[in-house]
Amino acid sequence: MKLGLIIISAIFINNFVLSQFLGICPFLGVSKKIDTAVGMSIAVTFVMGLASVICWAVQIFVLDPMGIGYMQTIAFILVIAGLVQFVEMVVKKTSPTLYQALGIYLPLITTNCAVLGVAILNIDKSYNLIESLINGVGAGLGFSLAIVLFAGVRERLELAPIPKALEGFPIAMIAASLFSIAFLGFSGLFSGLL
């Protein structure tokens, strides 16, 4: 039951992009086409799930016993960057097709705040290993949902009659804010349960 709540919460209620405002950079940068948005979201989901597990292990088995839990941020960045590089190499060697699909997006998200954010939130909420994994994957799915939907909106914006001053980026920001307000509707969904 709790796992279900965690995943629903990560996707809708505490959506990383639209409620917690993490990972805004790729959200706006890679959302011009649905194709690229899908590639990016697969890579993010993958890395978030992986980073959640590894960072949880680093926190519990390395940082906490040493009493240096406050070095979390630096340690996690280090872990995530190293991990993504490693995964990229392995994927490139073992599955060229997957590498083609993830392509440039893997290295782009090494220092993404959403990935770091999910790792730190897992520790803050004192999740166990499974819960961390679920939260990581859920957060990734939430990111995917937001970016793919937004890419669809932006593709339509290209063809819409938009006042000259708002063309391009400004209208994307306005659309993103409306999106975010819409997602606020999910808040309080589980207030009695969580």
Partner 1 sequence: MFNSIGLPVIVLGGMAVFFGIVLAYASKKFAVEVNPKVTEIRDVLPGANCGGCGFAGCDALAEAIASGNAPISQCPVGGSELAAKLAVIMGVEAGSEERQVARVICCGDSNNAAEKYEYQGIKDCKAAEMLAGGSKSCRYGCTGLGTCVRECPFDAIHIVNGIAVVDEEKCTACKKCIAVCPKGIIELVPVSKKVRVLCRNQDKGKATMQACKIGCIACQKCVKACKFDAIKVENNVARIDYSKCVNCMMCAEVCPTKTIYANFADRKKAFIIEDKCIGCTICSKNCNFEAIEGELKGKHKVLDDKCVGCGQCFAKCPKDAIEMK
**Which residues form the interface with partner 1 (CB under 8 A)?**
36, 39, 58, 62-63, 66-68, 71, 74-75, 78-79, 82, 85-86, 89-90, 92-94, 103-105, 108, 159, 161
Closest distance of CB 99 from partner 1, Å:
9
For the CB of residue 112, give the shortest distance to partner 1 in the complex, in Å.
14
Contacts of 137 (CB under 8 A, 6+ apart): 7, 45, 48, 49, 52
Q: Of 14, 53, 19, which Cα lies nearest the Cα of 136?
A: 53
User: Closest approach of Cβ 79 to partner 1, in Å?
Assistant: 7
- If the CB atoms of residues 97 and 191 are measured against partner 1, the closer one turns out to be 97
Which is nearest to 47 in space by CA: 13, 16, 81? 81
The residue among 78 and 173 lying less far from partner 1, judged by its C-beta, is 78
Distances (CA, A) of 77 to 21, 126, 189: 19, 19, 33
Q: Which residue number, 155 or 186, has a Cβ lying nearer to partner 1?
A: 155
Structural Rg of the chain based on CA atoms = 18
CB of 160 to partner 1, least distance (A): 8
Show the tokens assigned to 79.
Answer: 């872990």
**Shortest Å distance, C-beta 191 to partner 1:** 39
> Which has the closest alpha carbon to 15: 190, 194, 180?
180
By beta-carbon proximity to partner 1, the closer residue of 20 and 36 is 36
Which residue, 105 or 143, is less far from partner 1 as judged by CB? 105
